Structure 1
Amino acid sequence: MISGDILVTAGEVGQGSPQHLGHCPQQDPLWPGLTVHQHLEVYAAVRGMRKEDAAVTISRIAKALDLQKHLKTPARRLPAGEARKLCFALSVLGDPMVMLWDEPSVGMDLKGQCRMWKVIQTAMKGKERAAVLSTQYLEEAAAMCDRVAILVSGQLRYIGSLEDLKSKFGMSYHLEVKMTDVGQSDALHAEILRLFPHAARQERTSSLLIYKIPMEDALPLSQSFSKLEAAKRNFRLEEYSLSLHTLQQVFVDLTRDLEEHNPDVASNGSVERRPLHP
């Protein structure tokens, strides 16, 4: 179990200062019988807001998250996405100084996610605020976060800016080749290595080969596509794609790298401590 202290404005969080901390856990901390509006009123009172101010704030946040039509709905009748919106709304009510969000957008549709992102941007813009967001969606991290930390099986694999993450792990190309004749996979693999000498095969299925290609191997792109077009004709490939590594692929690479060096990860999640890769 991990434990520790959090200090905000020289006071310990949880010691008589609930207005300083907003929290959206994975499990929605909602009272089944209370309506959306009643939840917001209770949290506003706990945060020490005056009734007049609370009414204005509740109206504003309900509109921002498109919760107006659910204000009189008991929590037990809320769809999963609307319940997450309410949980998130409670975490930002009263403009707390520190906000902790644990996968707040799970269950939301794309419109709900975008509304939540706008609220976060408004809450953080030009203010002395701090927020920690955990998410499985790297697109969300890219849209919201100044710094990112990647955890794999409990180990910290990276912490820093997105730009630094891309420069260290993302300066490569992602090649996917789909075959029509699976009997040519070995010959095709040899051809890929001839065309791109430093290519590293990431995955292999019955009809699909996936490679990570260093940028220097793939440039200029015009030549790379000419080579791949020739391979497509010679090996009767169904299709191929060559694209820059995405953040999602970077995350997959980091996960795969840990599992390759620690075989027990996949079975029981226990790993030895190793220094972070540069």
Structure 2
Amino acid sequence: MLEMSESRVSPPYRLRLLGMELARLRAARGMTGAQVAHVAGVTPSALSRLERGRNTYVTAGDVRRLLDCYQASTQDETTCLRLVAEGRGTPYWEPYERAGALSEPVEYVALETEAREVRYWHPLMVPTLLQTFAYAQELLAAQHTDPAMVQLRARARMARQWIIRCGDPARLRVIVGEDALRLPVGETAVMRGQLVRLLDDAALPHVSVRVLPRSVGAHPGMAGGFVLLTLPPLGDVLFVESGGGLLVEDGPGVAACSAVFGQLDDLALSEKESAALMLRVLRES
């Protein structure tokens, strides 16, 4: 049975889950794409797009024909028809995507929305999911000259944070370098507000915020920041933030960054020690 969030629904990801379920059912019947196309009256290319989650126009009728062909159980039929309905919904980020206001690729945001766990590492920045509006504005203003776009992009970042504030939140594991706490982003009030926000969110049961102290010296994460999303049944997905963003769903890069995160996890301060350091930096500011 598919593991899905009840409150965090990403239509593109639901279409991918639908495709995976249909591919599983076809394989269970031992049928090729050509055989299904002949029996169900669909083209092989249309079936391929559907199984890869690329058919945004799929209907319940289309899926029922395939389910009949596969002699699917009532439970499988219920699951697949639910995925059809959810996959045709409008994602919360659609207005921001249309306005060009997403800081990350929409493919990443679609996966982030349903991630069971988010692991984040960055040597210099607080993660998007924990940024205050003022902090996000300052970061974005360093990249964009249009004040209106800065505001819109900052609002888009705030909208994404609902995945850790809803009734079925993602687990968030954050490791940041000590410089992320000390590097001045905007005026003093901006950094103070951001530090308070970090301390508040670190107290949530599903959020872990830890700091890699400068005293560690050279470490495995010096190449830059990255995010690892855990999404059953896909597994881990890697997002590398530099260079406009790179999304990797399999291969050695995912395993390598997962190993790096594990090493950083061993080197970072404990949650209690990290909170004490954040409080000390706040008092010094």
Sort the TM-score into its range (normalised by shorter chain).
Answer: under 0.3
Larger helix percent: 2
Higher relative contact order (CA 8 A, sep 6+): 2
- TM-score by length of structure 1 reads 0.24
Larger strand percent: 1
- TM-score by length of structure 2 reads 0.24
